[in-house]
């Protein structure tokens, strides 16, 4: 299995631009998580999906952030418009099931976003 796949691996963009991060979870996993990691705030859960349905988006910082999961094998995290404070590493993780105590999440390699 290729593991969780994220793209792009690095992105540098100018303030005000739209940014779209992509994630392909491990095949067969039914839960998907988006995280953001910065030195100041550590690793923060932004949103997670179970069976393609967003369960909790309370970690999404503001309306500029949105996430979708149109099918079991693909999810996007979009920032529009981007701001310099959005600069961080964004991780996607997937796991087999949420709610049954099985939380062995597999993380993707992350997308390093820099907004200038």
Partner 1 sequence: EDKVVQSPLSLVVHEGDTVTLNCSYEVTNFRSLLWYKQEKKAPTFLFMLTSSGIEKKSGRLSSILDKKELFSILNITATQTGDSAVYLCAVVLGDDKIIFGKGTRLHILP
Give me the residues that bind partner 1 (CB under 8 A), please. Answer: 33, 42-45, 48, 55-56, 58-59, 91, 93, 98-99, 101, 103-110
Pick between residue 11 and residue 56 the one whose CB is nearest to partner 1. Answer: 56
Least Cβ distance, residue 15 to partner 1 (angstroms)? 27
- Other CB atoms within a 10 A radius of the CB of residue 78 amount to 15
Nearest approach in angstroms of CB 75 to partner 1 is: 16
Give dist(CA 104, CA 113) in Å, integer: 26
Cβ nearer to partner 1, comparing 58 with 71: 58
Nearest Cα neighbor of 15 from 89, 78, 85 is 85
Q: What is the dihedral of CA 79, 81, 82, 84, to 10 degrees?
A: -150
Place of tokens 């939380």: 103
Structure tokens at 92: 């996607």
Sign of CA dihedral 63, 57, 55, 4: positive
| Between 11 and 44, CB nearer to partner 1 | 44
- Report the nearest approach of partner 1 to the CB of residue 98 (Å): 5
Give the residue with the Cβ less far from partner 1, 25 or 110.
Answer: 110
CB of 80 to partner 1, least distance (A): 25
């Amino acid at each position: 299995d290729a593991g969780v796949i994220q793209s792009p691996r690095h992105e540098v963009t100018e303030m005000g631009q739209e940014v779209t991060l992509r994630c392909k979870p491990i095949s067969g996993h039914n839960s998907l998580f988006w995280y953001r990691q910065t030195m100041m705030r550590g690793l923060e859960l932004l949103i997670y999906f179970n069976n393609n349905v967003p369960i909790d988006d309370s970690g999404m910082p503001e309306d500029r952030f949105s996430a979708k999961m149109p099918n079991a094998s693909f999810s996007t995290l979009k920032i529009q418009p981007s701001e310099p404070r959005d600069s961080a590493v964004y991780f996607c993780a997937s796991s087999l099931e949420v709610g049954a105590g099985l939380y062995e999440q597999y993380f993707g390699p992350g997308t390093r976003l820099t907004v200038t």
